[in-house]
Amino acid sequence: MKQPQNEMIQKECGVNTTYRPQYHMLPPRGWINDPNGFCTYDKQYHLFYQYYPYGVTNTLMYWGHSTSKDLKVWAYKGIALSPDRPYDNKGIFSGTAIEKNGKLLLMYTGVSTDEDGRTRQAQCIASGGTSFEKNSINPVILPDVLPAGCRKEDFRDPKIWEENGVFYCLTIAADLKGFGKLLLFKSTDMIRWEFVSVALSGESMGLGTLWECPDYFRLGDRDVILLSTVSATPSGVKMQNKYSAVWLLGRFDLKTGIFQAEQWDQLDDGTDFYAPQTTRGLNGERIMIAWQQSWERNIPPAELGHNWAGHMTLPRELECIGDRICQKPAIDSACFEGEAVVHNNVRITGQQTLSGIRGSNVYLRVCADLSGCDSLTISLYKKDTEATLLVIDRAKKQIVLDRSHGGYPISGAEMVSGASNRCVSPLQDETFGSVTLEIFLDSGAIEVFCKETGRCLTSRVYPKLHGEDIAFEAKGEAIISIEAHQFLQD
């Protein structure tokens, strides 16, 4: 799993790898945020991303580029797009990619300023395979074509796809009140674009003000749109992050250009998940990846001078089950080496540890029978009084992830007090007696998948004490079976 090229760059740039994930995707140095252009091409996965290779802030956005044959090992391919033209000299913002005429075609937002110093955002294209050339006609969609009442400075994040010989593009715009609008364009050649409609308008939906990073795809006979939202209205334990991602199930009529939303929900129940993007996998499945971070939150590696900031989530497979989108990891224990440590039908009363169940880079599969207890707490990265707590609360019918005492303090501009450090995932079945969790730990990156609900909690911690113990504590008696796989570097 080692990547010698990455290690050489890290050494040259003085990168401190203390908290760097080992099996999550990130470039060898610098800042990253939104995934861009996630696609399959030439029998492998391509992932582009918002990238600033020369520091640990989002000062001036480039597109980085990495590839993978299996979603497990990623090869860094360097910078794909640089902000070097008048129409994008203030940044290469988010976008998507498709294959056209045997090449990858990238569509992105170019950010610039006009003669009066006002920000303008426009949609641009580039094509290639290993290197990319910007089209001489750029920009291909100017903000001048926006419908009345939209701001030219908030017009970005194109999602492109082809259907029956027609290319479609969804972008985000903001109206004069700051509410998001989802705009549909179409083209026959990717160069000349026609505005079709406002596919969805945000003011009446309660899904925040500005929207970002739309994605569109079909699962079975349902149309799905993903949106990243800003300042959505909290609803119970949901939407407590200021920056949250949601899925919407419905019907998209491309003739009228209108999306009729029928159901929606939060996409991830954790503290650190934003700007998800999907692609059709090499086996036809729908794969999603996102930025494992949230805006307006401090990032300890950047504060500590480690010369890197941000990384992606693990890739996930999406399924539509009934009226909801469910997720499961797109990688499994085959990513990990060495023999599994297994304990079956262990009775947990009070707090205890289990032989061989520890580590900072580990996969855990926990099957818990909770019929004899009110809750089961799993302490991760535990040392002395420091730990991140994962609580399966049978009494309250929820799973809680609490990083309040997990290490370096993390704070942000949240909608609800305490949401920076505590998140909740609901358990729908009021009479459940057992829960199966898949838990991925990667140098402080935490992703928890619940089999019964298809929901996830994604978070990021930075333990000061570098604890590797994992402890279990039941209120009452829990019976657990656990399988653990350590991630071992070559």
Instruction: Point out the domain boundary residue: 274, 296, 329.
Output: 329
Cβ distance 452 to 432 under 8 Å? yes
Closest CA to 36 of 69, 79, 72: 79
**Cα–Cα distance list, 462 to 61, 391, 406 (Å):** 26, 19, 7
Q: Is the pLDDT of residue 349 over 60?
A: yes
Domain shared by 291 and 369, yes or no: no
Q: Which residues have CB under 8 Å from 93's CB, separation 6+?
A: 50, 61, 108, 109, 110, 111, 121, 156, 157
Instruction: Point out the domain boundary residue: 310, 329, 348.
Output: 329
| Residue whose structure tokens are 């998001």 | 180
- Asked if residue 346 is part of any domain, the answer here is yes
Q: What is the pLDDT of residue 12?
A: 55
Q: What is the pLDDT of residue 336?
A: 76
Q: Is the pLDDT of residue 308 over 50?
A: yes
Domain shared by 321 and 354, yes or no: no
Q: Is the pLDDT of residue 459 over 70?
A: yes
The rounded distance, in Å, linking the Cα atoms of 217 and 161 is 9
CATH code for position 230: 2.115.10.20
Q: What is the pLDDT of residue 93?
A: 98
pLDDT digits (tens, 9 = 90+) for 83-119: 999 999 999 999 999 999 999 999 999 999 988 889 9
Q: What is the pLDDT of residue 433?
A: 82
Q: Which domain holds residue 57?
A: 30-329
- Asked if residue 289 is part of any domain, the answer here is yes
Q: What is the pLDDT of residue 335?
A: 72
Domain shared by 132 and 191, yes or no: yes
* Tally of domains within the chain: 2
Task: Enumerate the β-bridge partners of residue 95.
Answer: 108
- Asked if residue 80 is part of any domain, the answer here is yes
Query: 117 is written with which tokens?
Result: 């110093």
Q: What is the pLDDT of residue 1?
A: 46
Q: What is the pLDDT of residue 489?
A: 64
CA 333 to centroid of chain Cα atoms: 21
- Consecutive H or E run containing 10: helix 4-12
Domain shared by 138 and 181, yes or no: yes
Domain shared by 264 and 360, yes or no: no
Residue 234 DSSP label: P
Q: What is the pLDDT of residue 283?
A: 94
Q: Is the pLDDT of residue 173 over 90?
A: yes
pLDDT digits (tens, 9 = 90+) for 310-346: 999 999 999 999 999 999 999 877 777 778 999 999 9
* Mean pLDDT of the 394-402 span: 95
The rounded distance, in Å, linking the Cα atoms of 374 and 380 is 20
Q: What is the pLDDT of residue 3?
A: 53
Domain shared by 243 and 342, yes or no: no
Domain shared by 373 and 420, yes or no: yes
The number of C-alpha atoms within 13 Å of 225 and in the hemisphere containing its C-beta is: 31
* Mean pLDDT of the 302-313 span: 97
pTM of the model: 0.95
Domain shared by 55 and 95, yes or no: yes
Q: What is the pLDDT of residue 227?
A: 98
Percentage of residues in the chain having pLDDT higher than 90: 87
**pLDDT band with cut points at 50, 70 and 90 for residue 490:** low
* Mean pLDDT of the 39-65 span: 97
- Asked if residue 202 is part of any domain, the answer here is yes
Closest CA to 214 of 188, 252, 176: 252
- Do the strands 30-41 and 308-309 form a parallel or antiparallel pair, or are they unpaired? parallel
Instruction: Point out the domain boundary residue: 302, 329, 356.
Output: 329
Q: What is the pLDDT of residue 8?
A: 52
Q: What is the pLDDT of residue 325?
A: 97
Buried b (16+ CB within 10 A) or exposed e, 210-243: bbbbbbbbebeebbbbbbbbbbbebeebbbbbbb
- Asked if residue 7 is part of any domain, the answer here is no
CA 149 to centroid of chain Cα atoms: 31
Q: What is the pLDDT of residue 72?
A: 92
The rounded distance, in Å, linking the Cα atoms of 135 and 127 is 8
In one letter, which amino acid is 350?
G
- Asked if residue 15 is part of any domain, the answer here is no
Which residues are annotated as catalytic? 34
Q: What is the pLDDT of residue 115?
A: 84
- Asked if residue 54 is part of any domain, the answer here is yes
**pLDDT band with cut points at 50, 70 and 90 for residue 413:** confident
Secondary structure tally for the chain: helices H, strands E:
2, 30
Domain shared by 272 and 323, yes or no: yes
The rounded distance, in Å, linking the Cα atoms of 168 and 176 is 25
Domain shared by 98 and 194, yes or no: yes
Domain shared by 49 and 139, yes or no: yes
The C-alpha torsion from 226 through 232 and 234 to 235, rounded to 10°, is: -50
Query: 64 is written with which tokens?
Result: 């980085």
**pLDDT band with cut points at 50, 70 and 90 for residue 430:** low
pLDDT digits (tens, 9 = 90+) for 188-246: 999 999 999 999 999 888 898 999 999 999 999 999 999 999 999 898 888 999 999 99
- Asked if residue 293 is part of any domain, the answer here is yes
The rounded distance, in Å, linking the Cα atoms of 240 and 244 is 8
When mean pLDDT is compared across 5-14, 21-30, 252-261, 403-412, the lowest value belongs to 5-14
Cβ distance 359 to 336 under 8 Å? no
The rounded distance, in Å, linking the Cα atoms of 177 and 338 is 56
Closest CA to 457 of 424, 418, 484: 424
Sheet containing strand 119-128, edge to edge, reads 91-100, 103-113, 119-128, 132-134
Domain shared by 135 and 110, yes or no: yes
CATH code for position 451: 2.60.120.560
